[in-house]
Chains A and B, each alone.
Chain A
Amino acid sequence: MRFLVLIFALFLSACGKAPLVQTKSYVFGTLVDISIDGETEERAHEVTSQILQDFQRLHHQYHAWQSDSELSKLNQSFVAGKTPIEISPELSQMLTQAQTLSKQSQGLFNPSIGGLISTWGFQRDEFTPVEINDAAIQKLVLANPQMSDIVIKGNTVFSTNPAVKLDLGGYAKGYALDLALTQLQKQGVKNALINIGGNIIALGQHGDKPWRVGIQHPRQPKPMATIDLLSGWAIGTSGDYQRYFEQGGNRYCHIIDPRNGYPAQGTQAVTVLLPPSPQAGVLSDVTSKPIFLSLPDQRSNAAKTMGVEHYLVIDGNGNVTLSASMNQRVRWLAKPAKITVQ
């Protein structure tokens, strides 16, 4: 009898589960959501606050419009002339990576168009309609700032074009994700999910199932699909429904086309899914932009050029186009009327 009770007690004691610790916080000017599974609460909180601190630092150091950030100071030096100035190794590395990606995207990913972004009012915390200054826009487009105008030698950098104004908005969140993943792995955390303003990277699993991510509907306040995010995979979406303003019946979103200086039209959202790699996070942030900016018949090419196999596009009419491999992974919650698989 006692033996039976002992067995029972042993089984029950094996049932204690380490809790899922989820922390939400406002960093990077957006909502950051970190979930850690399988660690004690104390450890989870310790690791999470370390990561949030790192995010705070990145946010301030590379802030696009606060004048005392390292990035702003660099931008100021670009305007001033061609004298090389010294930057942090981290920034040097980021800029080098950004240059490579910009070239790969044939200029569609262009983080040097801070001037244009500012003109459209998107270098602020709130988005209200601005008076569209066509002349200023044309001037900036003609000045043609490009990442290739920046010359990096070790930790010194200068620009050959004073119109270059760096805004790492389409890159920094991805970079932060990669940084956080490395941190978590270093800290010995096995299972976590990090969401920075909608960009997500996964580590391990949620208990005995993969992490599951919802994909926001671009026009309704609810998710339209879910997808499993396996360990190391990252997902990012560029959309016209988070940072935008409407004026005269048109929607102007924050994704500016460097070729004409105007916000992209004709696309509601682009979601990309990236497999594990040291820059999965960066790619999940960066690669959605070129696809977003492309014409409908150019989108699959743009994806290919950026090395993206799994993508989903919702065009201006709400029609969905997605790659075959993405179609296999996506679980629709509200199946759209028209789906094209390419």
Chain B
Amino acid sequence: MKGALRCGKPLLGDFLVIVVGLIFVAFLFKTLWHNEQAAKLQIRLGDKIYATYSLDQNRNIDIQGPIGITRVVIADGKARFESSPCPNQYCVHQGWLSHKGQAAICLPNQVSLELLGGEKPFDSLNY
């Protein structure tokens, strides 16, 4: 088995593809990751907005989805899935969301969380 890895060694074209892949992924991080302080939590059930809450409070929110009740907790300016009826509990394992743009999803119960930073369609208001 020695040299097993060497036997599967990448060829020239493979390296090219890998490098391009890395560039692509780095580009995705650059464009899609905006880390600014979040101010509001937006909860969606299915494709509709269920509710939007300020992160400046401590509260529990129970959402009735197709397979049961998902509980979302807001505390200390952060939010997370506390419990959900899904089999794998991936959403719960996502942990606390604290930055604008962060999101977590409970696919089976169709509940999604997104942190909004109070970003409006404009930078300042003229009046």
| A223: Cβ under 8 A from any B Cβ | yes
Q: Which B residues lie within 8 Å of A167 (CB)? A: none
Please report A residues at the B interface, Cβ cutoff 8 Å.
Answer: 4, 7-8, 11-12, 14-15, 17, 19-20, 33, 35, 193, 195, 197-200, 206, 211-216, 223, 226, 235-237, 239, 241-242, 271, 333
Interface residue ranges of B68-127 to A (CB < 8 Å)? 120-127
Q: Find out whether the CB atom of A200 lies under 8 angstroms from the CB atom of B124.
A: yes
CB<8 Å pairs between A and B, sample of 17: A4-B15, A4-B19, A14-B30, A19-B36, A35-B124, A197-B127, A198-B127, A199-B126, A200-B126, A206-B123, A213-B126, A214-B121, A215-B125, A215-B127, A216-B126, A216-B127, A235-B126
**A19: nearest residue on chain B (CB-CB)?**
B36
- Evaluate contact between A198 and B126: CB separation under 8 angstroms: yes
Given A14-B26, A195-B124, list of 13 further CB < 8 A pairs?
A: A4-B15, A12-B26, A12-B29, A212-B121, A213-B123, A213-B125, A215-B127, A216-B125, A223-B121, A223-B122, A226-B122, A239-B127, A242-B127
The dominant DSSP class at the A interface is strand
Given contacts A4-B18, A7-B22, A11-B26, contact A20 B121 (CB under 8 A): no
Q: Verify B124–A15 contact, CB threshold 8 A.
A: no
Chain A residues near B50 (CB-CB < 8 A): none
Judge whether B19 and A214 touch: CB under 8 Å: no
Residues on B with beta carbons closer than 8 Å to the beta carbon of A200: 124, 126
Q: Are A11 and B23 in contact (CB under 8 A)?
A: yes
Q: Assess the B18–A214 pair: CB atoms within 8 A.
A: no
Contact A223/B22 with A12-B29, A14-B30, A19-B36 known, Cβ cut-off 8 Å = no
A-B contact count (CB 8 A): 78
Interface size on B, residues (CB 8 A): 21
CA distance A259 to B93 in the complex (A): 70
CA A33 to CA B125, docked complex, whole Å: 10
CB neighbours of A215 from chain B (8 A): 125-127
Query: Which residues of B have CB within 8 Å of A333?
Result: 121
- The residue in chain B whose Cβ has the minimal distance to the Cβ of A11 is B26
Task: Determine which of B15, B18, B122, B126 lies in contact with A236 in the assembled complex, contact meaning CB atoms within 8 Å.
Answer: B126
**A8, B26: Cβ atoms under 8 Å?**
yes
Contact pattern, B 28-40, Cβ under 8 Å of A = 1, otherwise 0: 0110011010000
